[in-house]
Chain A
């Protein structure tokens, strides 16, 4: 399923074939001279040296520098495969995961590891979460899949009242560190009310849970392995729009990326821009547009990666340097993660701020079907916020 490419590739001019499917994250025509979308992103590491140049992966390139081309669902699949191979007590379950899952993230796992380790559950989110928590309480590694993040709400009670509080309420006699819940999230172009939501903020409000969201295949594999092995319950939100669209040369080794640590994707001096998940590509384009329209402007782009606990120090250090902050996320504005980040930065960097903190988020409406284009915090809107911040 993954294409092994042993030939080292030059990462100069990469011909990326535009996917024909209407909902691929990429527009045919450049807008304002910016070629938008994941297919054209420079954030993705399309060559092996590019991928391994990452300081966080330095430890593996010495041992095993082999990489292979993977998209996001393949990277997630690989991470779970490694987790199952290295931990005898790990199991993967959820709705329809046996044949590979609705996004193919679990393809081949049942065949490779057996039906007693990779199995379907009935259609019962509350049951899945509770069942997973029970397993984890005994020390198993339970990797549960919720088919779409929009369906996670029946499991909300289990996650918030059981999983999050297990260690605390038992005085550390028990814990559900082995619990990882994976769910595809975020907009896909036509998902409508119940296949597009980004519910991270609901869970961010609950102490005891960790929330992680990767932007790319390399990130997904490393962060998922770290999430599975982290001794806290972790909710892993995978932006569904990136499953096929984001393709990188992913190291085949077993590696983890640190939780709770943001990554500075682009260094800059004038304005700090923070996001996570699929929004990173929109922000990349917004920065390209901003730096084009305002020559001399230098933007710093930060991917939180872990939404809870988010890397306050990295963002503070950046804002202390730039004095300006723009936060973007698909979830609605009111009480979204942006609100939390803005408040904290206001507290920590008040005297260094040169402009009000800008939040570019979804509208305070249910996620619409036909109006999706107007709802999304698009490139132009993010650019607008950068401009407002810089010109304040």
Chain B
């Protein structure tokens, strides 16, 4: 890589005026970002690697190497990458099932993610969780039941306040999940007890096959917290997400209580690999978003315009990302499935299980 490798030179980026919209607060994040070239390149690399990883998963699913349900985040890379750039491992993240990208930025290796998708022993959850249940340090998954992760996020935030750890907990959910009762229950608890949690609505315009305006009486998700201040962010712009996440972290770390943050984003793929994604929206719409708002292309343009890297540099990164992902995929595919004894483990904590559990018929009993 030529110009920007390990470059701690800081440059100033000004975000567009339209990046943030506020609710119930006079404060707003500044549009000026001072960021090192190195960090910018890292964000770019993460996004392009994530995109390649998801595309590899797509191919593997179609080749039936991955079974079950697989929800890809193509188009939504700016969300996880932008957020991660603003936080550390003492901050916490919990999201729903579209979690591969988050797992990656929160420290999961590509190999462990792809292996988990294929149900291998070296998968990040030992092959027992699959696509929707990936975890890492300070990242609580990866949750299959829609909306169930939001009260969990509130609970995580509570522990941070209890332990006097100034931090932020991002509890993410989608536009579909925003109508779950438990989301509102979490809002109330968070505001009542001033929890350092940011409820992040990752609005990708569709709850599976139902568009946001057909599921929600109000699609202004950043205002749905009612008594909780809100911010709406362009979720296709990684730097806007970064700035907003930094600002949100300052907010919660200084004891100001919860926030609702809406990230306006878009998914190119269907809801999952079982959904073509074209029965409820037009191909033109998808194409339009790809060509005008792609987060990776957007970052690319920014890097080139600010002289941080050349097109050639970025192409080289893309190529390297592809190689890294292909290599990881190969290794993951070659890795073994979990031992059958894992079928019985971790139901209860080790050492406290019942002496045996019953199998399918009286003769089939497993003894611990």
Contact = CB atoms under 8 A, between A and B. Distances in A.
B66 to A, nearest CB: 9
Contacts of B340: 371, 374
A362 interface: yes
A370 B360 contact: no
Given A99-B279, A99-B280, A122-B176, A369 B360 contact: no
Given A126-B181, A359-B361, A363-B358, A375 B343 contact: yes
B290 interface: no
Interface string B51-76: 00000000000001001110000000
Contacts of B235: none
Given A369-B129, A388-B362, A127 B181 contact: yes
A255 interface: no
B180 interface: yes
Contacts of B366: 363
A370 B214 contact: no
Interface in B152-194: 176-177, 179-182
Interface in B119-178: 119, 127-130, 132-133, 144-147, 176-177
Given A95-B208, A122-B176, A365-B347, A384 B128 contact: no
Closest 5 CB pairs of A and B: A370-B119, A190-B67, A122-B179, A194-B144, A123-B176
A371 B128 CA distance: 8
B35 interface: no
A117 interface: no
A377 B360 contact: yes
B68 A191 contact: yes
Contact of B215 (A22, A23, A123, A371): A123
A367 to B, nearest CB: 11
A363 B214 contact: no
B363 interface: yes
B179 A193 contact: no
B357 interface: yes
Contacts of A362: 360
Q: Which among B207, B279, B280, B343 has the greatest number of chain A C-beta atoms within 10 A?
A: B343
A10 to B, nearest CB: 36
Query: Chain B binding site: helix, strand, loop or mixed by DSSP?
Result: loop
B337 interface: yes
B27 interface: no
Contact of B337 (A122, A361, A370): A370
Nearest to B66: A190
Contacts of A374: 340, 343
A368 B337 CA distance: 14
Interface string B185-221: 0000000000000000000000111100011100000
6 contacts: A102-B209, A122-B210, A122-B215, A123-B147, A123-B176, A376-B360
Interface residues of A, number: 50
Contacts of B67: 22-23, 189-190, 369
Contact of A123 (B207, B357, B358, B364): B207
B227 interface: no
Contacts, number: 130
B114 to A, nearest CB: 14
A123 B347 contact: no
Contacts of A124: 179-181
Interface string A339-371: 000000000000000001011111111101111
Interface of B: 64, 67-69, 119, 127-130, 132-133, 144-147, 176-177, 179-182, 207-210, 214-216, 279-280, 337-338, 340, 342-344, 347, 357-364, 366
Given A194-B144, A369-B119, A123 B68 contact: no
Contact of A99 (B119, B133, B209, B362): B209
A123 B362 contact: no
A151 B207 CA distance: 15
Contact of A363 (B216, B279, B359): B359
A95 to B, nearest CB: 7
A120 B215 contact: yes
A18 interface: no
A366 B357 CA distance: 12
A360 B364 CA distance: 10
A192 interface: yes
A370 B181 contact: no
Interface string A119-140: 0111110110000000000000
Contacts of A192: 68-69, 130, 132, 144
B361 A123 contact: no
A100 B179 CA distance: 21
Given A369-B68, A369-B129, A370-B337, A154 B214 contact: no
A235 interface: no
Given A150-B144, A193-B133, 19 more contacts: A95-B207, A98-B210, A122-B216, A126-B181, A151-B145, A153-B145, A192-B68, A192-B132, A194-B132, A195-B68, A333-B358, A334-B358, A363-B360, A369-B67, A370-B119, A370-B338, A371-B338, A376-B360, A385-B362
A126 B340 CA distance: 37
A365 B176 contact: no
Nearest to B357: A364
A381 interface: yes
A365 B133 CA distance: 17
A96 interface: yes
Contacts of B207: 95, 122-123
A384 B361 contact: yes
Nearest to A377: B360
Contacts of B144: 150, 192-194
A16 to B, nearest CB: 23
B132 A120 contact: no
A82 to B, nearest CB: 25
A177 to B, nearest CB: 26
B68 to A, nearest CB: 4
Nearest to A384: B361
Nearest to B338: A370
A153 B366 CA distance: 29
Contacts of A121: 215
Contacts of B64: 22
B180 A123 contact: yes
B274 to A, nearest CB: 8
Contacts of A153: 145
B363 A388 contact: yes
Contact of A370 (B128, B182, B279): B128
Nearest to B147: A123
Nearest to A23: B67
B179 A123 contact: yes
